[in-house]
Amino acid sequence: MTNESSRGDSARSFDQNSNLSNYDFGGNWQPSELELLRRKARAKKSRRNALIAAISSFLVLGSLTIIAITSPGWKSLSNAFFKWTYGVEVLPKILLGFITNVTLTVIAASCVAVFGLSIALIRTSKSAALTPFRILATVYVDIFRGIPMLLVILLVGFGIPALQLKGLTNNVLILGTVAVIITYTAYVAEVIRSGILSIHPSQKAAARSLGLSYFQTLRFVILPQAFRRVTPPLLNDLVALIKDTGLVSILGVTDAVRAAQIASSRSFNYTPYVMAAIVFLAITIPLTRFTDRSLRKSIEQQNAQGLV
């Protein structure tokens, strides 16, 4: 009897719960008149802003286009810089030279990542035994962040061969790559160091209290958070690195810029330079948009953490 009564009670409670679940509590939710008015006001404001933006863009861009086309020297300018038939003709040579830029970028970015991380870790270390290395790293960063990269390329490209030391290469591509690595390592090291220093000390203290060693704390706690925060500026440095690889052409490296220069010197037409710029833009613009997207996601994550 007890089991039957308990089963009956559970059945009645289930029926009551099912009735409560079917009860709609006054019907489906409907927005109030005030909410509907707010939505209409927002939609109207959005349409007005879009119309103003379109008109403003049309007026500004149209005015600039009219000024450029109606200028006295537009015809000579278009013949000198926008002769597209000649640009398409020299495009394969520019693309062949751009392969050198891509190769240099991949090699330099890999080396800069390793050396930059090493210098950042040395500068953020508090070990007494690493004091001389911290001093050298600080001097290195201060010097090569303050010297224009063009001067570094000239000093490395022409200075090292002038030493006439055995075992040192005279290959201008290798020397140009070394100069790029030297310069960008200083910038990337500071970016990574800023990311490491942005992590609150309590993170390190908590990791050490759990029994993690210093290197385990860096590997599993500090560096993942630091790299997540500095991903946008690192991507900006990558975009700048792709562009600055064109500076090695001053040493005689046949990259996209040098190929455009050779083609331009033969015809006294500057369209090859415009084609080289378009090739670089085809790579840098998508990377820039990806960088902006990463930055926006990073900001949204930080704001979400702040709300929690």
pLDDT, tens digit (0-9, with 9 covering 90-100), for 84-132: 999 999 999 999 999 999 999 999 999 999 999 999 999 999 889 999 9
CATH fold label, 85-297: MetI-like fold (1.10.3720)
Counted residue by residue, the chain has a size of 308
Q: What angle do CA 232, 236, 242 make, to 5 degrees?
A: 145
pLDDT given for residue 1 in this prediction: 47
- Token pair, residue 84, equals 């597209």
pLDDT given for residue 232 in this prediction: 86
How far apart (Å, rounded) are the C-alpha atoms in residues 33 and 87?
Answer: 62
User: φ, ψ for residue 168 (rounded to 5)?
Assistant: -90, 130
- Token pair, residue 126, equals 């508090």
Q: 184, 108 in Cβ contact below 8 A?
A: yes
Q: 283, 299 in Cβ contact below 8 A?
A: no
pLDDT given for residue 32 in this prediction: 85
| Span of 175-184, 205-214, 253-262, 297-306 with lowest mean pLDDT | 297-306
Q: 150, 247 in Cβ contact below 8 A?
A: yes
Q: What is the mean pLDDT of residues 156-160?
A: 91
The set of residues, in sequence order, having a beta carbon less than 8 Å from that of 26 and lying 6+ positions away, is: none
Q: What is the mean pLDDT of residues 274-280?
A: 94
> Confidence class of residue 156 from pLDDT cuts 50, 70 and 90?
very high
How far apart (Å, rounded) are the C-alpha atoms in residues 8 and 12?
Answer: 6
pLDDT given for residue 291 in this prediction: 83
pLDDT given for residue 126 in this prediction: 87
pLDDT given for residue 36 in this prediction: 87
Nearest of 112, 137, 141 to residue 127 by alpha carbon: 137
Nearest of 95, 77, 69, 35 to residue 254 by alpha carbon: 95
Condensed to tens digits (0 to 9), the pLDDT of residues 52-81 reads 999 999 999 999 999 988 888 888 888 889
pLDDT given for residue 30 in this prediction: 81
| Span of 6-15, 61-70, 219-228 with lowest mean pLDDT | 6-15
In the predicted structure, residue 25 carries a pLDDT above the cut 70: no
Q: What is the mean pLDDT of residues 20-37?
A: 70
Sign of dihedral through CA atoms 194, 200, 204, 210? negative
| Span of 24-33, 214-223, 245-254, 287-296 with lowest mean pLDDT | 24-33
What is the per-residue burial (b if ≥16 Cβ within 10 Å, else e) of 174-195? bbbbbbbbbbbbbbbbbbbbeb
pLDDT given for residue 308 in this prediction: 45
Question: Could you tell me where the DSSP H helices lie in the chain?
Answer: 2-22, 33-69, 74-81, 84-124, 131-146, 149-163, 172-197, 201-209, 214-217, 223-244, 256-267, 271-307
Rounded to the nearest integer, the mean pLDDT of the chain is 87
Give percent of the chain above pLDDT 70: 89
pLDDT given for residue 14 in this prediction: 47
DSSP 245: G
Select the more confidently predicted residue: 28 or 209: 209
* CA terminus-to-terminus distance, the chain: 53
How far apart (Å, rounded) are the C-alpha atoms in residues 177 and 174?
Answer: 5
